[in-house]
């Protein structure tokens, strides 16, 4: 049984990121159209879906959905305008799915007031690394803007709590962030910090009490040297100083998949997995070898990311195989391609909490708002 809900359905996005299962060479329009009709976002296996993850960016003067000065939840590292970014052009883009542009389906505008009502009485949790933090704060800002507009803006914010949260009191809605770079356990033992590929003890009990879970992992699996937080990888009874990172990721993600099957009640909890968020440190990926994200003011034109054409597939194939073995539905948010096109939307040097050049995280308002827009659209399918 292929029980991963949107996992097959969401293969309509192309690129080299974590959630992109199919790489389409530039110019393969016919293949793209065929795939768009075959793989649609179906909202959990239902009919009448819409391929939302393949398209292009377009200027839209009605954006952004909130003002950075009006949102109390943005960390300094994401608050590019506050810390001196001189241009604002990155704010005024909206994602245009190809299928929606062709009239074959509708991509609804994000309506924060509607989502506040749909999520009334719910507990939502973003689980992952700092890209999940980026997405969590984006959603908090989007909902806060809607709550203010409805004159129901009472909230509590606990950024420094063990598990940070924003609670919208008038809606009995709480949105949490759980920091977990690997999803599996990272524990301190006598032999040092141990990454245990077979264990999810640290967060599992908290996660399974949620109504909606949005998971993310990949970036930290590639860290080495001083940026690597573990000394030992524990794989069953075997301990290693290091191992193939893609294989380690496969084992860790398989453990997470088993956790989903053993602990998630699909009648109560909806599970999402967010695709990898790309970085833009190497301009050769978009045809400008001497550049980084610094100074970039425009998205990549069109619907294909140049570096994706013809590249070998890596972690996304791992994800495909792991999700294929999960019996419970997991909904994929294939944000990689649309994010790859946005070389202009990183903090660059305009971060209040990230020394040096940051071409990994995203300014807020910005691209993570679209990730959450796609999450909202999936609820309406």
Cβ atoms of residues 52 and 381 within 8 Å: no
Which of 10, 129, 130, 360 is an active site residue? 130
Q: Answer yes or no: 235 catalytic.
A: no
3-state secondary structure of 349: coil
Which of 358, 369, 373, 378 is an active site residue? 358
Q: Answer yes or no: 360 catalytic.
A: no
Cβ atoms of residues 197 and 158 within 8 Å: no
Q: Answer yes or no: 176 catalytic.
A: no
User: What is the side-by-side strand order in the sheet with 238-240?
Assistant: 185-189, 192-196, 232-235, 238-240
Which of 361, 369, 373, 378 is an active site residue? 361
> In angstroms, rounded to a whole number, what is the distance separating the alpha carbons of residues 106 and 96?
10
Both tokens assigned to 1: 């049984």
- The b-or-e profile of 46-84 (16+ CB within 10 A means b, else e) is eeebbbbbbbbbeeeeebbbbebeebebbbebbbbbebe
> In angstroms, rounded to a whole number, what is the distance separating the alpha carbons of residues 167 and 154?
9
Show which residues are catalytic.
Answer: 130, 358, 361
């Amino acid at each position: 049984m292929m029980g991963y809900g949107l996992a097959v359905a969401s293969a309509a996005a192309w690129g080299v990121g974590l959630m992109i299962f199919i790489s389409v060479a530039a110019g393969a329009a016919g293949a793209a159209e065929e795939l768009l009709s075959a793989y649609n976002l179906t909202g959990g296996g239902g009919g009448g879906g819409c391929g939302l993850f393949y398209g292009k960016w377009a200027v839209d003067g009605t954006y952004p959905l909130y003002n950075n000065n009006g949102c109390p939840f943005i960390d300094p590292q994401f608050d590019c305008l506050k810390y001196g970014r001189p241009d604002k052009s990155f704010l005024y883009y909206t994602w245009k799915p190809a299928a929606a542009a062709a009239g074959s389906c509708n991509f609804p505008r994000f309506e924060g007031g509607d989502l506040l009502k749909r999520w009334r009485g719910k507990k939502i949790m973003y689980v992952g690394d700092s890209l999940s933090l980026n997405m969590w704060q984006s959603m908090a800002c989007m909902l806060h803007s809607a709550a203010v507009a409805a004159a129901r803006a009472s909230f509590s914010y606990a950024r420094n709590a063990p598990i940070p949260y924003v609670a919208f009191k008038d809606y009995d809605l709480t949105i949490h962030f759980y920091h977990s770079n690997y999803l599996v356990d990272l524990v301190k033992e006598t032999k040092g910090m141990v990454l245990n590929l077979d264990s999810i003890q640290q967060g599992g009990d908290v996660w399974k009490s949620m109504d909606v879970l949005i998971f993310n992992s990949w970036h930290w699996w590639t860290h080495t040297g001083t940026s690597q937080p573990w000394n030992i990888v524990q794989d069953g009874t075997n301990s290693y100083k290091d191992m193939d990172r893609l294989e380690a990721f496969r084992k860790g993600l398989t453990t997470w998949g088993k956790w989903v099957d053993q602990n998630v009640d699909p009648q109560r909890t909806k599970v999402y997995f967010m695709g990898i968020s790309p970085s833009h440190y190497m301009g050769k990926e978009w045809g400008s070898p001497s550049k980084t994200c610094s100074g970039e003011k425009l998205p990549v034109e069109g619907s294909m990311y140049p570096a994706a054409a013809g590249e070998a597939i890596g972690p996304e194939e791992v994800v495909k195989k792991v999700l294929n073995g999960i019996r419970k539905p997991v909904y994929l948010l294939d944000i990689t391609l649309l994010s790859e096109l946005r070389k202009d939307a990183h903090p660059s040097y305009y971060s209040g909490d990230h020394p040096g050049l940051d071409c990994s995280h995203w300014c807020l308002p910005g691209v993570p708002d679209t990730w959450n827009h796609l999450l909202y659209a999936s609820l309406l399918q």
